[in-house]
Chains A and B, each alone.
Chain A
Amino acid sequence: MKKIALFGNPNTGKSSIFNRLTGLKQHVGNFPGVTVDKQTGTFSYNNEKFELIDFPGTYSVYPRSSDEKIVFDVISNPQHTDYPDAVIVVVDASNLERNLLLFSQLYDLGLPTILLLNMTDVAARKEIAISIEELQNAFPATTIIRSNARIGTGIEEIKRVISENKLKTAEKPFGKQQALLSISDTEGQAVDTDERFHNIQQLVNNAVTRNQKLPSRSKKIDLWLTHPVVGYLFFFLLLLVIFQSVFTLASYPMDLIDGAFGSLSSFVAQQLPPGLFTDLLANGIIPGIGGVLVFVPQIALLFFLLSILEETGYMARVVFMMDRLMRPFGLNGKSVVPLISSAACAIPGIMSARTINSWQERLTTIFVAPLISCSARIPVYTLLIHLVIPNKLVGGFISLQGLVLFCLYFLGLIAALITAWVFQFFLKNKQLSIFLLELPPYKSPRWANVGIEVFSKAKVFVTDAGKIIVAISILLWALASFGPSNKIENAEKLIPKPSVQTETTQIAYEKQIAAVQLENSYIGIIGKSIEPIIAPIGYDWKMGICLITSFAAREVFVGSLATIYAIDQTEEDTTPLIERLREETKADGSKTYNLASGLSLLVFYVFAMQCMATLAVVKRETKSWKWPIIQLVYMGALAYVAAYIIYNLFQ
């Protein structure tokens, strides 16, 4: 299959062209050795199929970051597996001069080119007229096509021209070729760029007639949206909408998915003959798949909103406005959205960090996002707060319990910012921090682009991170279902059957069996064996078991406690569990759940990386196990140390 590469400056409508050409026939893969996703798609013409590779938007072939280096690596090396047979260079007709730099470089590299004059509508609105003849004279080997990606003109012509296979390579370069082949010669690059612009300027003077005015509409909008008061207010409201969507709106489909998989699980358990396979299916695989799909509504909603912000051009303003505030922490203006989203759930938050162009800033954002308290921590927080914090008012009107909850959220946020700041000093070979960001004119979103973005993000999560989540789910199921002794199988014999058979006694009987089974499973054994490690922070082995099971998802902590103490409780009402936990005493007669151990657990849950789905998604986004493992370790260490301090402070 012939490989066609798609190049262009950012904001030239390149992704619209890509979507127009390939539709949903898209695939996200890897370039060898780099963290950049390789976005590929296919299209057909006259029964011939072509592969289209969408390269990251750049202003020149010289990389400004390790991410952009992939562009240079591929096109300067004809032996590269992704070296294209032809390139389409999307050029913004309304800003020809700057766009022609990249085009002229690619032209001179000896690749057959299509010069795609896009956004001809914007150019027309700006009263810009372009002489195709002059352009053709300057680049005789290229094929020039006019397009308007927003309404889809020019797309069929691109396919036809490519399939006709008449694209030519340049015989005479437009500039000098030597500089293009050496990546380290920055001085040579600067000289070459200077000369190219000199030639391009002359060309543009001949080829373009224009009315040199900026679209005033965008400027007027900007005066409001980047206003010190109105601008921040607007952004704050927008963050509120984003947060509410991911937090509240997404919860309806999530509950449906949760309920459906719960029903499916019990249905399977009832209908199939009891045995290992049924148990694996009902308690391992089905909940595992449910545990993947439950994140899809949040991911879809967040990317729906984010791609609208990107499409309209507002996202660039967010970076512009937030840069000064986020810079000291080594974060990007765009980090705000992932961090706020992480207050609902770190999964979509971390995925949304890919809008950050700088790899270091993106990595920092991903690195600290799980420290922001997510909604899965809420059941743990509320249970423990009700358990150990007295229900009284501070200063007459502030609820002490509410205040503690607020402090936990605040603690997470502060920890995230401080960690980001510290993280900067650990990053090796720091890249030069370049801001230089184009603020594109505001425009209405193209909904097909939004839809494709939502679809592809959900798909990437389900296929890539989903595999890991299902695998860990099954592992956790196995650890909870099997044990070294035969006590699990014999649990029913160990617990005396109730003498009076009522529904209540039967439930109590079953709960006791479940408790014995969990205690004797591998997870139970691990929980017990880590007791010496967690005793200094105030926990017993029962809590140890719950710490391990809640690795599946933090809220499992509550359910596991109920299982261990054989409490019959519903998700909504934790009162029986709280009453039971209050009675729990240590060997010396003191309460197990007192202020010190309760606060210690709370702080532990603020910091610890107790979420396999987050680890899976970090692995997906950073393309290596290195970062999730580092996160697991540093957050665990942070949690342990903080819990130790708190426990000893209040003991």
Chain B
Amino acid sequence: MRTLADLPLEKRTIVTAIKESAIRPKLLEMGIYAGKSVEVLFKAPFGDPIAVNVDGYVLSMRLNEAQLIEVAD
């Protein structure tokens, strides 16, 4: 299953699901839920964290957090 962590830069896609985790409610609160349009804008110098365009605002997250977010191919 493809996650936000391995999405190439500037490829717009749709969130399909969020994996079960303690961080899940927090991801939801930040407006990341199934059906949301997302795109990786740029990455920090070590490739982690990454900056994501969440439907009009920029949210940065660590790779382990991005791995919880499943996206459509």
Contacts and interface: CB of A to CB of B under 8 A. Distances in A.
Contact of B53 (A59, A210, A214): A214
Given A97-B31, A190-B28, A324-B49, A434 B44 contact: no
A124 to B, nearest CB: 14
A90 to B, nearest CB: 15
Q: How large is the interface on A (under 10, 10 to 19, 20 to 34, 35 or more residues)?
A: 35 or more
Contact of A194 (B26, B28, B44, B62): B28
Contact of A95 (B22, B33, B46, B56): B56
B7 interface: no
A321 B44 contact: yes
B59 interface: yes
Nearest to B53: A214
A98 B28 contact: no
Interface centre among A193, A231, A441 (most CB of B within 10 A): A193
Interface stretch (A136-144, A218-226, A454-462, A521-529): A218-226
B61 interface: yes
Interface in A174-229: 186, 189-190, 193-194, 197, 210, 212, 214, 218-219, 222-223, 226-228
A427 interface: no
A498 B55 CA distance: 86
B60 A59 contact: no
A226 B28 CA distance: 26
B23 to A, nearest CB: 6
A649 interface: no
A551 interface: no
Contacts of B49: 320, 323-324, 435, 437
A186 B53 CA distance: 26
B30 interface: yes
A62 B26 CA distance: 9
Given A186-B25, A320-B49, A323-B44, A439 B58 contact: yes
B25 A436 contact: no
A344 interface: no
B42 A437 contact: no
B14 interface: no
A436 B55 contact: no
A88 interface: no
Given A186-B25, A324-B46, A439 B51 contact: yes
A432 interface: yes
A324 B29 contact: no
B23 A189 contact: no
Interface centre among B22, B27, B45 (most CB of A within 10 A): B45
B30 A197 contact: no
B65 A190 contact: no
A434 B26 contact: yes
Contact of A324 (B22, B44, B65): B44
Interface string B14-55: 000000001111111111010000000110111011010111
A207 to B, nearest CB: 15
A432 B22 contact: yes
Contacts of A210: 56
Given A97-B55, A214-B53, A436 B44 contact: no
B5 to A, nearest CB: 13
A273 to B, nearest CB: 66
Contact of A232 (B23, B45, B56, B62): B45
Interface of B: 22-31, 33, 41-42, 44-46, 48-49, 51, 53-62, 65
17 contacts: A59-B29, A101-B31, A126-B56, A186-B25, A190-B24, A218-B58, A222-B51, A231-B45, A323-B44, A323-B48, A324-B49, A435-B49, A436-B23, A436-B59, A436-B60, A436-B61, A438-B59
Ordered nearest first, which 4 A-B pairs have the shortest CB separation?
A: A228-B45, A98-B31, A439-B58, A324-B46
Given A60-B29, A436-B61, 11 more contacts: A97-B31, A186-B25, A212-B55, A222-B51, A223-B42, A227-B45, A435-B60, A435-B61, A436-B23, A438-B58, A439-B51
Interface of A: 59-60, 62, 64, 94-95, 97-98, 101, 126, 186, 189-190, 193-194, 197, 210, 212, 214, 218-219, 222-223, 226-228, 231-232, 316, 320-321, 323-325, 432, 434-441
